[in-house]
A and B are shown apart, each in its own frame.
Chain A
Amino acid sequence: MSLSPGVLLRQGFLALIALFLAAPLIVVVSVSFNATRRMSFPPTEFSLRWYRAFFSDYGWMASLERSLTIAGLAALVSVAVALPITYAIWRYQAKVAALLAGIGGALFLIPGVVAALMLSAFWGVTGHVGRLENVVLSHAIVLLGIPLSLLMVGFRTIDQAQVEAAYTMGARDSDAFRMVVRPAMTPYILCAFVFVFVLSINEYLIAYMVAGFTVQTLPIKIFANMRQGYEPTMCVAAVIFMAMGFSAFALMSKVADLPRLMGRTRPLED
C-alpha cells in the first residue's frame, strides 16, 4: 500500500490513540527505574533500587501473594462454573443453563459499585466477614460473564457433527467429551482462566468492600499507600501489574486465535 494522505491520516490517528493509551504507563515504568525518591520524569539516573526495596518488603510481598492466590482461585471457580453451563447450552440447548448464563452475564453488566455493595451486604448477613474466600467467590461471580462468553465462542467452533462422528465410531458420551470436546476446548478454557485471573488481580472496589482492609490485596495496598503520599515502590507494583497483564494476553495470543476469541468470525488471513 502506498503512503497516500488517507493512509497517513489513518496511521497518525491510530498512533495518537496508542500514545494516549501508553503515555501513563510509560511514565510509571520510567519513574520506577529512577534513582531518586522524588518523582521526576524523564528519570535522571537509572537504578533498580526500588525493585530491590519492593521485593524485600514483607508487606508488598504478602499483598502480591494474596492477590495471586485470590486471582488463581477466582479464575478456577469461575471457569469451573461456566464450563458445565456453556456445555449444557451447546450440547443440550438446556433452557435452565441459558437462564443461568443470562444471570451471569447480567451481573457483569451492573455498575461495579452496585455489585460490590450487594456482595458486601451478603457477606455481612452471613456473618462471615473479612475473609479471603469472600473475595475469591465474589470475584468469581462478578467476572463469570467472561468465561461464559469465551467458552461459548469455543463451543461454537466445534462442529456438532464431530461429536456425532465420534458416536458413529462407538464413542460413549464421556469418550466424546474426553477425545473430541476437551482437546478443542483447551485453549478457550486456558484463555478464560487467564482473563479472569488478570481482571481479578486488578480489581479494587469489590475486594475492598467485601473484605475491607483485612485482606489487603495489591490494589488495596497501592491505594492505601497513595493516600499517604508518593512512594517509588508503588511504581514497581504498577510495573508488575502491567508486565503480568500484557504477558498474559501475549501468551493468550499464542495459544488461541485472539481475533476469533474477541468475536471475529469472518476468516482473517495472515
Chain B
Amino acid sequence: MFGLELRDLTKAYGDHLAADQVSLSIPHGEFVCFLGPSGCGKTTVLRMIAGLETPTSGAILLNGKEITNEAANGRQFGMVFQSLALFPHLNVGENIAFALRLRGVDARRRKDRVAELLDLVRLPGLQTRAISQLSGGQRQRVAIARALAQEPPVFLLDEPFSALDAKLREEMQNELRALQQRLKITTILVTHDQREAMTMADTIVVMGGGQIQQHGPPVDIYRQPANRFVADFIGASNLLPVEVLDPRTVRLGAISLRVAAACGLGAAPATLAIRPEDVLISRMAGNGDNEVAGVISQVRDMGAYVEFRIDCQGQDILGVAMPRDWIGAGVGETAHVRLPVDRCQVLAR
C-alpha cells in the first residue's frame, strides 16, 4: 500500500515490553497522533519508525517496501525531537541546511531552499541568527524547518510543543496542522496532551501498556471509547461500576438503568461510562428515563461552565452544565440527574 505500515512491531527491554505487537496502517498524507500517558510506549514506537531503535520483532514498511533494518540515516524521516536538538554551534540557516550539506547540495541551491523553508515557517530573514538568540516558538519553527528540508517521506514529531506555554502551543498546533495540510506529508506526532491530539490529528492512536488501545478519528475515540483505559484517559469520564442484567439494562447499586447496548457482556460486573457534559441535572424529578436523585456535594463555577458533583446513593457523579442551564443549587441541596440512554456506554471492567 501507499503509506507507512507497522506489522506486529515489538520492542523488549529485558522482560519489559515497551511496545507489544503494534500493528497500524497509515495512509499517505495522513496526520496521526500517538496519544498516551508517559511510559506507554509511544515514543519507543516513534523511535523505531525513525530507525533510532531496532525492533525486537515485527516489520516496518514504507510504500510496501520493508525498511525494518534500514538505519536512521538511510530512512531520512525528518524528526523533531522533544528537546528540539538544534545544533548550538550552527546558526539558523546552517541548522536548516544541515541535511542538504550532507547530500552535497551546492551553496546556491541550499541558500534558496533555506529561504523557502524560513518563509514556510514564517521566520523570513533569520538565516544568520544564533540559536541562543531565538525565542521558544522560533526554535520550534527552526526545528520543523530543519526536519522538512530533506523533503522526508514521513515527518515525525516527539512531543514537540511540551515546553511551550499554553497560548503559544495552541498557535503552533494550528500552524503545524495548516503546514501539514499544505504539504500533504505523512505526519506522526507523539503527545500526552489529548487536546493537542484532538485538534490536529486525522487519526488518534491511543496507546497504553505498550499496546494500541484504540485508533480512529478523534470524535469516535471521544464518543465511543473502546475500553475503560481509553474512556479514562481521554477527557473526563464518570466510570461507574455496574452489573449487566440484560443487553439493554444494567444495575448501578439499587438503581437500574437503561443503556444503548451492552452487547457481548454477560451478566458480569461492568463499567458504565458517561461524559460529564452528558449528565443532565434538574431540581424536579420526572424528566424521563434513567433518572437518579442525589445530594449535591460540590459546585465549582468556572465562568464558562459550571462543574458539579452529586452523590447518588453512594455513587459520585460528575457533571458539567452551561451557565444558562445551571439550576443555581448549592452544596447539600437535593437534585435529580438524568443519564441519557444513548450516552451511556457499557465497557468491560
Contact = CB atoms under 8 A, between A and B. Distances in A.
A and B touch in the complex (CB under 8 A): yes
Interface of A: 159, 161-162, 164-172, 175, 179-180, 183-184
16 contacts: A159-B85, A162-B85, A164-B85, A165-B85, A168-B51, A168-B73, A168-B156, A169-B78, A169-B99, A169-B147, A169-B149, A175-B102, A179-B98, A179-B101, A183-B87, A184-B89
A84 to B, nearest CB: 22
B102 A168 contact: no
Which of A159, A162, A170, A172 gathers the greatest number of chain B CB atoms within 10 Å? A170
A170 B150 contact: yes
A184 B88 contact: yes
Nearest to B76: A170
A168 B87 contact: no
B91 interface: no
Nearest to B77: A168
Interface string B99-110: 101110000000
A164 B81 CA distance: 9
Given A167-B71, A170-B99, A170-B150, A159 B83 contact: yes
Given A164-B52, A179-B98, A169 B76 contact: yes
A158 B216 CA distance: 38
Interface residues of B, number: 32
Nearest to A168: B79
B73 A170 contact: yes
Contacts of B204: none
Given A164-B52, A164-B72, A184-B88, A169 B150 contact: yes
A162 B131 CA distance: 14
Given A164-B52, A164-B72, A169 B98 contact: yes
Contacts, number: 70
Nearest to B53: A164
A167 B102 contact: no
B81 A170 contact: no
Contacts of B87: 162, 165, 179-180, 183
Contact of B51 (A167, A175, A179): A167
B81 A161 contact: yes
A166 B102 CA distance: 10
Contact of A168 (B86, B101, B103, B147): B147
Interface in B86-141: 86-90, 98-99, 101-103
A171 B73 contact: yes
A227 B77 CA distance: 71
Nearest to A172: B73
